[in-house]
Structure 1
Amino acid sequence: MQSSIITVRPAPGQKSRALLQFGTMVVPAAVGRTGRTTRKREGDGATPIGSMTLLSGFRRGERPLRVQTQLPIRLIREDMLWCDQADDPNYNRLVKAPFRPSHEEMKRKDGLYDVCLVMDWNVTSRSRNRGSAIFFHLIRPGYQPTEGCIAIHPRDMRRILPYLRKGTVVRVL
């Protein structure tokens, strides 16, 4: 599977569903509960339309999902959080507990972040309220909507991970 572009296009019938294509592989995916948008705002529940490069990733060490990839991957620790409070200087950054401002826990009980890839949405060049924690991660049962991320089945993530590297482009149409 030779490709450096992952394309995410809307699936017919439901704004929070998508089709993810990587090379010749096409798999179902979930996107934001409010669909996709060109005007991403913090908390709007939408997946940003545009091209985002993969920067790095995280994985749970104690879960049995084997991760083989060229992406830089860090093991998730209990104290890892991601700041989503737009007026904080750490907005859209990995932070360490204890941390009082609004944040997401990286070590989630629901397994969504057992493999969690960081896309460059508002990361290398940040703007307040433009959206935070836009990740490429694992799906909820039934392909339930995300809060703005892109999510796929663990089986599909295992299939594409070996081909991903820093700089792979995720293009949301």
Structure 2
Amino acid sequence: MTDENVLIVQADSAETSLASARLGERRWRCTLGAGGIREDKVEGDAATPVGEFPLRRVYFRNDRLVLPKTQLPARPINEHDGWCDDPRAPTYNRLVHIPNEWSHEKMWREDGLYDLVVVVGYNDDPPEGEWGSAIFLHIAREDYSPTQGCVAFARDDLLELLPLLTRDTRLRMLAHPADEEARPASAAEDEMKLLKDFDERDW
């Protein structure tokens, strides 16, 4: 698969949840989990998992937005929709009906964050252990504050991104922030400057 069909997400630095996402030549701002980016994610750590994952389906509030054209399966959210986040449950990391005996979060929210949700295929084939659940692309708060592990975009940006996603698109979450990738180049420039300033008489 070429990068043209991979949504690549990378944090700006290890000290912030702010990140950038790119798909082909398009770029968007986004925000990540308050727990950082982790290869060893577990339930409740608020971290965004490292790796490459499929995109499963879309859930949306049809009382709040008109869904743009999408190639992903989609259905409206209703007031009885929840998402199980209890590793002990047989429905762990699955959409569930509320009321439900297991721990879950509500999909029908007043704050608008789940007005548009793209389900990321993380720890769902099948769900195992306590490796985490409910990893979504969803709408960010206005201040881009950290998520509980999801990747969140401005509402208009997510509406713009959705028609570009296909059943083959994958989310690639990079482990290293952008500023760490820039450091080796900077160090090399400093070394070149030292060599340039070097005088043989210093020997």
Q: TM-score, length-normalised on structure 2?
A: 0.81
* Structure 1 counterpart SS, 2:159: helix
Structure 1 residue 20 displacement after superposition: 0.7
* Structure 1 counterpart SS, 2:4: coil
Match of 1:52 in 2: 53
Match of 2:109 in 1: 108
| RMSD across aligned positions (CA) | 1.4
Match of 2:161 in 1: 160
**How far does the alpha carbon of each residue in 1:134-163 deviate from its partner, in whole angstroms, 9 at most, with x for none?**
011110121010000000011111211111
| C-alpha distance in structure 1 between counterparts of 2:92 and 2:150, whole Å | 17
Structure 1: segments with no counterpart, 5+ residues: none
* Structure 1 counterpart SS, 2:105: strand
1:1-173 correspondence to structure 2 within 5 Å: 3-12=4-13, 14-173=15-174
**How far does the alpha carbon of each residue in 1:45-97 deviate from its partner, in whole angstroms, 9 at most, with x for none?**
10000001101010001003442211111100110110001111111001101
Structure whose residues are more often helix by fraction: 2
Kept after mapping to 2: 8 A contact 1:15/1:34? no
Q: Please tell me the residue identity of whatever aligns with 1:132.
A: S
| C-alpha distance in structure 1 between counterparts of 2:65 and 2:96, whole Å | 26
**How far does the alpha carbon of each residue in 1:89-132 deviate from its partner, in whole angstroms, 9 at most, with x for none?**
11100110110211011111111111100010011221121000
| C-alpha distance in structure 2 between counterparts of 1:141 and 1:123, whole Å | 30
| C-alpha distance in structure 1 between counterparts of 2:163 and 2:58, whole Å | 13
Structure 1 residue 15 displacement after superposition: 2.9
| C-alpha distance in structure 1 between counterparts of 2:88 and 2:7, whole Å | 32
Point out 4+ residue stretches in structure 1 off by more than 6 angstroms.
Answer: none
| C-alpha distance in structure 2 between counterparts of 1:78 and 1:104, whole Å | 12
Aligned pairs, how many? Answer: 172
Structure whose residues are more often strand by fraction: 1
Kept after mapping to 2: 8 A contact 1:55/1:167? no
Q: TM-score, length-normalised on structure 1?
A: 0.95
* Structure 2 counterpart SS, 1:155: helix
| C-alpha distance in structure 2 between counterparts of 1:165 and 1:124, whole Å | 19
Q: Please tell me the residue identity of whatever aligns with 2:164.
A: Y
Structure 1 residue 167 displacement after superposition: 2.8
Over alpha carbons, which structure has the higher Rg? 2
| C-alpha distance in structure 1 between counterparts of 2:101 and 2:68, whole Å | 32
Kept after mapping to 1: 8 A contact 2:65/2:115? no
**Percent of aligned pairs sharing the same letter:** 38
